[in-house]
A and B are shown apart, each in its own frame.
Chain A
């Protein structure tokens, strides 16, 4: 999701971990112990930085090391829960990413419709172009985007930044949406046509309600990708009062002489929580049913 921030975008389209987890074959007891040991060792190694985050946020004298809080308390949270440090940047993130997600979904849902339903000579090249764009390293275009935004006076505007975020996420959103739409049977829609509904009515009244879970996944996934995006708002937004949390956390980190690690950890935790919860929601909601034959095919 890293995009990645663009990391691993196609993953949600795969029958992921949960199914693989259920189907694990039973081998010998010794095998299982060895596998358990290997996994636990990895889990501990991966958990150390996360443990630091949680422990330090509760430690009023936090250092850079993982340790049990020397003086436990919620002081770090009360210190960062101010308008300036937390609420304004989080609200900015919400406005920016919410707006960009809205643009993405509003453009992707109708676009996916003809791509999923009709065949024409250009639909395959269009889809291939979309898929190609999905993989392009968007980081590379940030310098020209900055230049372009200065030229057309979009620099330091929230809507400009949201439009670029949306454009960067659109190829994947269209692709994902098309795959969900392919799964909706055509018969109901044909019935609606017979009754004289237009494509817009069909899309709005018949298809979108039927692909509710798919729509939710595309929306949440798009939002998660944008929430974590640092480089785009870092380049395109300048005025401090507009910056989202992904950028303010960085100034927080870099500008203070003596960094209050505990407060930084508390803020990081607050900033990460929404996406973790949303991710859990997506994976629960579909219960590992990401079996959509998506972008990464084995």
Chain B
């Protein structure tokens, strides 16, 4: 018994930190979400049961945030990062070496630079006086105040810019593991590029696709700094995804209890995705 305790004792520091600073807040989150805690001017918070959740589902602001989060996730993660990442990985296998190196370096740099710098760079790109409109003017196309007319689309593009490198790397690795004999024999049998992609390559990397989609979605669900730097959730609340809405309710409106309830919902959705992801990766452990 002592021997086994001693053996496992190295786990202790990490477990303590994880319990205190990660499991603790999550547990606290579950408790606070059922109270009416406010930031200021309150003697004591009381237990209000499901009131915060009922309030959330009846709250137009919350529903707006859910819809925007869905739009943001589908546009930037499912469609943008995933498809572009796969396309880049596929193209890289055919392109010449310098082009591969340059493209890889640029796309990865966009991913490595800090979130808030990325937000600032894309703000300058989409801003009314920014580069996108300069390019459009040069092409004699109509310009727009993108961050005002299509804020959620602008932040989605920003997230694609920032996050595609991950999918590209995952798919590069996955494609390099597809045995070449298989693709080549399909080619000999006369299967065109698209058919090979659909019937051979995609089925062979389907586990990577699944995992990548899950991880992208989880990452996208928790984006805050990028949106905050570009639009602060505005104009109005037209780019207010759930994390921004949560922050706004808890700190701008001082409703910690309500903000935490929103956080708990976000956490539950994240946990579901995380569980699916875990199933996909299970054989690893």
Contact = CB atoms under 8 A, between A and B. Distances in A.
Contacts of A39: 88, 91-92, 95, 99-100, 103
B120 A32 contact: no
Contacts of A4: 115, 219, 222-223
Contacts of A111: 10-11, 13-15
Given A16-B172, A231-B225, A297-B284, A272 B113 contact: yes
A64 interface: yes
Given A64-B130, A170-B17, A297-B284, A35 B95 contact: yes
Contact of B222 (A23, A137, A203): A137
Interface stretch (B46-54, B56-64, B243-251): B243-251
Interface stretch (A44-52, A74-82, A184-192, A208-216): A44-52
A25 B14 contact: no
A126 to B, nearest CB: 8
A75 B247 CA distance: 37
Nearest to B210: A298
Identify whether the interface residues of A are mostly helix, strand, loop, or mixed: helix
A91 interface: no
A176 B220 CA distance: 22
Contact of A249 (B10, B18, B117, B131): B117
Given A7-B111, A103-B17, A298 B205 contact: yes
Interface string B86-126: 01110111111101111110111111111111101110110
A258 B112 CA distance: 29
Contacts of A217: none
Nearest to B167: A8
B168 A133 contact: no
A88 interface: no
B199 interface: no
Contacts of B97: 21, 24
A50 B94 contact: no
B211 interface: yes
B99 to A, nearest CB: 5
A269 to B, nearest CB: 8
A196 interface: no
A141 B161 CA distance: 26
Identify whether the interface residues of B are mostly helix, strand, loop, or mixed: helix
Contacts of B256: 143, 146-147
A6 B219 contact: yes
A140 B285 CA distance: 27
B70 interface: no
Interface in A118-139: 118, 120, 124, 126-128, 131-133, 135-139
B195 to A, nearest CB: 16
B281 A296 contact: yes
Contact of A264 (B92, B102, B120, B273): B120
Given A15-B173, A139-B243, A25 B93 contact: yes
Interface in A231-256: 231, 234, 246, 249-250, 253
Contacts of A10: 215
B96 A297 contact: no
B218 interface: yes
A95 interface: no
B278 interface: yes
A108 B112 contact: no
A227 interface: yes
B131 A65 contact: yes
A45 to B, nearest CB: 8
B271 interface: yes
Contacts of A147: 28, 32, 37, 256, 260
Nearest to B114: A228
A133 B22 contact: yes
Given A35-B94, A295-B281, A228 B17 contact: no
Contact of B170 (A46, A120, A228, A296): A296
Contacts of A163: 17, 20-21
A180 interface: no
**Max chain B CB contacts within 10 Å: which of A2, A10, A11?**
A2
A7 B85 CA distance: 14
Given A15-B176, A143-B259, A250-B229, A8 B165 contact: yes
Given A14-B170, A127-B285, A49 B18 contact: no
A224 B112 CA distance: 8
B114 A297 contact: no
Nearest to A115: B11
A133 B96 CA distance: 40
27 contacts: A2-B111, A8-B111, A11-B169, A21-B92, A34-B94, A39-B88, A42-B103, A42-B107, A46-B110, A49-B131, A52-B124, A64-B124, A108-B14, A110-B10, A110-B11, A111-B11, A120-B4, A139-B221, A141-B29, A143-B247, A146-B250, A167-B21, A199-B10, A230-B114, A272-B114, A296-B208, A298-B177
Given A23-B93, A53-B121, 8 more contacts: A16-B169, A25-B93, A135-B270, A137-B221, A140-B266, A166-B17, A228-B113, A261-B124
List the 3 shortest-distance A-B pairs measured between CB atoms, nearest first: A8-B166, A167-B21, A228-B114
